[in-house]
Structure 1
Amino acid sequence: MRRCLILGVALLALVGCGTGEIRTDVRENVVRAKEATFVIADNLELVTDWDPATSYSNEISAMQNIYESLTFYNPVTKRATPRLAESWTRSADGKVWTFKLRSGVYFHTGRQLDATAVKESIERTRRLAAGAAYIWDVVDTITVKDELTVEFRLKYAAPLDLIASADYAAYIYDTRAAGSKDLKEWFNEGRDAGTGPYTVDTWRKGKENELVLRAFDKYWGGWEGPKYRRIEWRIVPDQKRAWQLLLRGEVNFVERISPALFAQAKRTAGIRTLQVPSFQNMLVLFNTASGPLRDVRVRKAIQKAIDYRGVIAELQGAGTLASGLIPEGLLGHTPGMEPKQDLAAAAELLRQAGYGPGGRELRLVLTYAQGDEEERKLAESMARTLKQLNVTLETRAMQWIPQWNMGKSRDPAKRQDIFVMYWWPDYADAYSWFRNVFRSAEPISFNLTYLQDWTVDSKIDRLPSIVATDRNKAQKAYAELQKILLEEKAVAAVPWVMNYQRAYLGSVRGYTDNPAYPNVVFVYDLIPSG
């Protein structure tokens, strides 16, 4: 279950001093030690919610190894491909979709997958209406046609094959797993009811060695050939320590690594690196409901004060200057919306609001994720720049769950002024940014600008049907919404789109990133070899 301490000590002794280089014999020892176990170093607490219907946070990296959806997004073809569904058809008007399921698929509970199980899981997800459950709002009825055939009738035309590949809320699970007990409580004790290659072994909430998954022997894909049969997650906020664990062979994969360490990793024998563009961007969300940022002039001033290009330079390849809310590669990406620093305009806006040089001191609180070097650099850069404008920015590094809880506080006085976080789409479409982050909602979830604007809401609600029927019109609708939110209402700043920088042991073969499933390592697809 856990690696022998003696092995770790032996590896440490054999690491080349000062260079981080691992000798060939050490790399071979690492391969033999890790054939059965793949260890991931993550910088944030992993599990916030074990229920596949409502899960909507960092646990995605585990859940995508435990659960499966009807379809899967292929980033090369930019289309949905088979997963639990072998094939599907759609009516000419795009409102009736019929999926044919794989045969011989079992849930980890022992129940066999059939059309009834698909219907039951999606209907429960819809009924709970939490997290990304909105993806199924387009569905009118679900009908079991036969044991392995399920039909969806939609309220309006929509790309259901793409929706069914979503990274959250599209999971198919055994709704009968808990028997007479409450299923949500059953899940949140650290149990699962998926069909994926791995099932939960142990979960230790709040511990560094938080989670272990083990191989599900009846997995429909089989276990022939070399495979990792266990996955472990270690929560290591300190990226330097995560790097040292990788060098010692105590972890196989470091999800987040600073640009400086990434540059070192590229020069280190026995270590592989990968840098790829993503669908994940950095959001600086302004509190429009309480505090000084209720004034749009102040929000625009903070927007204009950010040293965007300076921060990009500090990221050393880990980020690319954003153009609007939507990353390149998704419908709605709008060139020409790159943000620019303008300190003179920022000072004038602050003066108009009664702050700035020569005016009242403005004090703001910004929260960001503890252990995230890129977010730290952004926070420190903003604090330095704003100080020139008589703005004191208190930056707080917080673990994700306490930060999120602060943002969701029912007491507006307890919320932050600026909430820094990453966002990525729930499926490979930009609707996710608008529906989740900027649409009015109660209770608060990720709409952490607290914007309440019914005109904006109506424009957001029309997006899915426009996307399904007229892509040119959808492109214009996305561009219009971005200008309203970023330029007119100034509810957020978008400094960059992430470039993922990964480091992992040279013994790991077959790793790649899929931008539709951010920070997910599909461990079953990897090959442990020398």
Structure 2
Amino acid sequence: MKLRKLRGLLALASATALVLGTAACADSDRDESGSDDQTFVFGAPGDPKSLDPSLATDGETFRVTRQVFETLLEHEPGGTKIVPALAESYQQSPDGLKWDFKLRSGVTFHDGEAFNAAAVCKNFERWYNWSGTYQSTNFSGYWQELMGGFAKNESKETPAANFKSCTPNGDLDVTIEVNKYSATLPGAFTHAAMALHSPKSIDAYAAEPPPTGQEGSFTYPQYSQTAGTVAGTGPFKLTNWDKGAQQVTLERNDNYYGTKAGVQKLVFQTIKDANAGRQALEAGDIDGYDLVAPSDVKPLQDAGYQVPTRGVFNLLYLGMQQETEPLLAKKEVREAIAHAIDKQSIVNSKLPPGAVAANQFMPDTVEGYSDSVPEYAYDPDVAKEKLKAGGAENLSIDFCYPTEVSRPYMPSPPDIFEILKANLQAVGITVNDKPMKWAPDYLDATDAGKCPLYIIGWTGDYNEAFNFIGTWFSVYDSGWGFKDEKLFADMAAVSAEPDQAKRVEMYKALNNQIMEFLPGVPLTSSPPSMAFAKNVKPPTTSPLTQENFAEVSFT
């Protein structure tokens, strides 16, 4: 996965045993008297990749780091409206080139350093001046997506820098200037990858050796893999990452400037199997978990558990790598694959109520959704005709899919893969199974363009259509393996258009253009559910999956 595709399962017995052992330890810390000196254990469907969100592109990293690090702006609880966070207020210049922020006073980082304008600028200068392997999209993908390239780009594929400067105006006022207006702003200032670190932490990061390896196989810097160095301003502090037990432990930040967290400890325990998550919740070994299996929603509700559902703000798609498999460069072959897929069968059998088949690369909850895109109805006979026209009657193709994970847009990847495989084989395509562990194997392989076919998806970061189609199609991306200069130019034009009403119409035209080209197949959008114990006050669910676990408490 390039950041752009932001982007399996353990055996039930072993997963459950792992949870039981972990939760038993957590239970020993709980105060049954009802005080807030308690531990909340949450079952997450995948492992994080890094404790430094700036280096991440995956939702499981951001789930953890959002509790530890904060951003200048954020989204209102339960919605997509942008509101102040570490900035009390902000103002955009008429041309969209200057952003003035009034910062909160009395805020400190976890290591005791003061939060101020100088600290904000030190973060932006860190990102802007990244070099070497840090310029790989494996690490700086979101910076490149949101703010462009660097002070000195080291690859011709790296976009031009849009960040221009960060200027402190006293202690609590700061101005961030960009070279041109971008539709990624102000959304970028809400993004977990652009959360703010303490100056002391940034100095410690710089003292460590940079990441090693090559595209598709990198090793993260040590500071990002162990607790102790990273420091944010959030309601929780990182205290431990036990990779063997697949759990991350956070403790309440009692010096937090805002409302203190409702529990003393927060544990994210990886539970990669939905059945194991349900059983652990029912046994009282965990207090909540994410991505409830659709068939478990009603039984859990009937038993008195809380099962809140998020709004639909995601997309699952079938990616096609046109460089790795040259036959995919022929539109007739891509059309054949699109016509071969029965999307509705995925919706009916594998997704929760409220899921829908997708016909473009964004859900209909985003402004810019088009009602007139070219569509490719499920029709095996047409698929066979298209394969013949493309000279691919004997097509044999590798199909990668992730294991040991569940995602908001993809609750059971192996099951969805099996439906897609059966669809393709029914029209004469030979499918070669390529299962891979989600992190890092699958993410690295899809990012590096090593998978001819693959399934992956996206949950929106903020409510702007560019965050969907611009994320995938604004520049050449090895995950797709195609170059369409007109499409890239049209993407640049919509990003630079400051008038929102005009942007929306441009997005609609771009959706039509993308589906005419058909780089991949949009599959489904769905509303993922979470589940919580009866004695829990859960966090407000977010369509962006940006839940704030400081809201959690025991009733």
Specify if TM > 0.5.
yes
Give the deviation of 1:31 after TM superposition: 9.1
Q: Deviations over 1:259-289 (max 9, x none)?
A: 11122212112x1011232322102111111
Q: Distance between the aligned counterparts of 2:548 and 2:85, measured in 1?
A: 13
Give the deviation of 1:34 after TM superposition: 8.8
Q: Deviations over 1:89-144 (max 9, x none)?
A: 23333333211111110111210100000011122123335121132344422211
Q: Deviations over 1:207-246 (max 9, x none)?
A: 34321111122111143xx711211111121211111011
Choose which of 461, 476, 489 in structure 2 pairs with 1:458.
489
Query: What residue number does 2:307 align with?
Result: 273
Q: Distance between the aligned counterparts of 2:412 and 2:298, measured in 1?
A: 15
- Report the AA paired with residue 39 of structure 1: V
The answer to whether residue 176 in structure 2 is matched with residue 152 in structure 1 is yes
Between 1:79-88 and 1:170-179, the stretch displaced more is 170-179
Query: What residue number does 1:24 align with?
Result: none
Q: Distance between the aligned counterparts of 2:451 and 2:195, measured in 1?
A: 33
Give the deviation of 1:8 after TM superposition: 5.5
Pairing 1:447-526 to 2, within 5 Å after superposition: 447-466=478-497, 469-488=498-517, 490-516=518-544, 518=545, 520-526=546-552
Query: What residue number does 1:390 align with?
Result: 428
Give the deviation of 1:30 after TM superposition: 7.9
- Report the AA paired with residue 503 of structure 2: A
Query: What residue number does 2:117 align with?
Result: 115
Give the deviation of 1:434 after TM superposition: 3.3
Which of the pair has the greater relative contact order for Cα pairs under 8 Å at 6+ separation? Answer: 2
- Report the AA paired with residue 81 of structure 1: V
Choose which of 369, 381, 402 in structure 2 pairs with 1:344.
381
- Report the AA paired with residue 290 of structure 2: E
- Report the AA paired with residue 481 of structure 1: L
Structure 2 counterpart SS, 1:49:
coil
Mind listing any 5+ residue stretches in structure 1 that lack a counterpart? 12-27
Query: What residue number does 2:234 align with?
Result: 196
Q: Is contact 1:273-1:502 (8 Å) kept?
A: yes
Give the deviation of 1:160 after TM superposition: 7.8
Structure 2 counterpart SS, 1:431:
helix
Q: Deviations over 1:389-416 (max 9, x none)?
A: 111223444321211222244xx6xx22
Q: Deviations over 1:127-186 (max 9, x none)?
A: 335121132344422211110000123323457873244333321111332646626543
- Report the AA paired with residue 54 of structure 2: A
TM-score, with normalisation over the residues of structure 2? 0.81
> Structure 1 residues 114 and 79, CA, compared in 2 at 3 Å: closer, same or farther?
same
Structure 1 counterpart SS, 2:113:
coil
> Structure 1 residues 402 and 6, CA, compared in 2 at 3 Å: closer, same or farther?
closer
What is the aligned-residue identity percentage? Answer: 19
> Structure 1 residues 493 and 369, CA, compared in 2 at 3 Å: closer, same or farther?
farther
> Structure 1 residues 60 and 322, CA, compared in 2 at 3 Å: closer, same or farther?
same
Query: What residue number does 1:362 align with?
Result: 396
TM-score, with normalisation over the residues of structure 1? 0.84
Q: Give me the CA root mean square deviation.
A: 2.9
Query: What residue number does 2:46 align with?
Result: 44
Q: Distance between the aligned counterparts of 1:511 and 1:487, measured in 2?
A: 41
Q: Distance between the aligned counterparts of 2:528 and 2:232, measured in 1?
A: 28
- Report the AA paired with residue 240 of structure 2: T
Pairing 1:265-414 to 2, within 5 Å after superposition: 265-269=300-304, 271-291=305-325, 292-314=327-349, 315-317=351-353, 319-337=355-373, 340-356=377-393, 360=394, 362-372=396-406, 373-400=411-438, 401-409=440-448
> Structure 1 residues 8 and 110, CA, compared in 2 at 3 Å: closer, same or farther?
closer
Query: What residue number does 1:175 align with?
Result: 199
Q: Is contact 1:162-1:427 (8 Å) kept?
A: no
Give the deviation of 1:343 after TM superposition: 1.6
Q: Is contact 2:372-2:512 (8 Å) kept?
A: no
Query: What residue number does 2:458 align with?
Result: 423
Q: Is contact 1:96-1:152 (8 Å) kept?
A: yes
Q: Is contact 2:319-2:453 (8 Å) kept?
A: yes
> Structure 1 residues 512 and 335, CA, compared in 2 at 3 Å: closer, same or farther?
farther
Mind listing any 5+ residue stretches in structure 2 that lack a counterpart? 1-17, 149-161, 209-220
Q: Is contact 1:70-1:164 (8 Å) kept?
A: no
